[in-house]
Amino acid sequence: MACAVSMPMVHKPLVPIHTFTPFSPEQTNALGRLPLLNRPDGAFVMAPSKDRILDAAERVVLRDGVMHLTLDAVAAEAQMSKGGLLYHFPSKDDLIRGMIRRLQDQFEADVKRFEAEDPNPVGRKGRAVLNAGFPAEPSETAKRSDRIAAALLAAIATNRLLLDDIREYSLKQEQELLNDGLDPVQAMIIHMAAEGLWLSSLFGLGRPSGKLRDQVIDRLREMTTGADTGTTVMTR
């Protein structure tokens, strides 16, 4: 009868299938959780699935009102499972913060585009902010205002602390305008006037409209050149 020979077992070191490399802070979103796509112009773009969720959230707010902004409603509007939504936005506050952050990123991308097209370094940031915030086409302005209103109204109605992202962005923009090569007082006038026009339009306050509004914006643009505008009445 043949005798079975026992061969010694050789233990080989386990070879990892993959090695996890943490994302750097620059590669993560405002929530510090998920990676973003890095565009050549330096802006971070959310993945399509996240944009789909944020688009759905804005539609819910604009169509049904902020009180109907629930995770269930957004998941249904986005035609995806609630679990899929929670993977990207674990809470309603995270969702609202994502809405605000996307608007800021979109606006900043427009500002950078206008800056790149402006050969004059003095007041360049201020002109870019005015051009991005008040587009020539009314339809673009209305579209932007709707998106901003959706995020702001949602944030205010649920948790005012969520407006911290907007406050921080405003302070950042203010500092950039103060370093724009203009007299600091003139830079602050431009900054505060632009924010006032934006907020009055957002909340439907007593804002200038039509020709007068255009003249106000043109005057602000003229101020970004460092020129003394005096009291000359502008016409179009």
Domain assignment present for 235: no
User: What is the pLDDT of the chain when averaged over all its residues?
Assistant: 77
The helix/strand/coil state of 32 is coil
Structurally, the chain folds into a number of domains equal to 1
Q: What is the mean pLDDT of residues 224-235?
A: 57
Q: Which residue has the tokens 């939504």?
A: 85
- CA-based nearest residue to 158, from 223, 67, 229, 87: 67
Task: With H, G, I as helix, E, B as strand and everything else as coil, classify residue 14.
Answer: coil
CATH number of the domain that 115 lies in?
1.10.357.10
> Are 220 and 130 spatial neighbours (Cβ–Cβ below 8 Å)?
yes
Tell me, yes or no, if the pTM score tops 0.85: no
DSSP state of 116: H
Higher local confidence (pLDDT), 77 or 40: 77
Q: Are 112 and 125 in contact (CB under 8 A)?
A: no
User: What pLDDT, on the 0 to 100 scale, is given for residue 146?
Assistant: 75
Three-state SS at 35: strand
Structure confidence by residue, pLDDT tens digits, 69-116? 999 999 999 999 999 999 999 999 999 989 888 888 888 998 999 999
| Residue carrying structure tokens 């773009």 | 45
Residue 71 counted as domain residue:
yes
Indicate if the pLDDT at residue 187 is higher than 70.
yes
pLDDT digits (tens, 9 = 90+) for 124-158: 999 999 998 888 775 566 676 677 777 777 777 77
What range defines the domain where residue 119 resides?
A: 39-223
- Classify residue 97: in a domain, yes or no: yes
| Domain annotation covers residue 49 | yes
Gap between the terminal Cα atoms of the chain: 110
- The C-alpha atoms of residue 109 and residue 198 are separated, in whole angstroms, by 18
| DSSP labels, 65-109 | -GGG--HHHHHHHHTS-HHHHHHH-SSHHHHHHHHHHHHHHHHHH
| 3 lies in some domain | no
- Note whether residue 1 is domain-resident: no
Kindly state the tokens that stand for 180.
């724009």
In a domain, residue 165? The reply is yes
Would 84 be classed as within a structural domain? yes
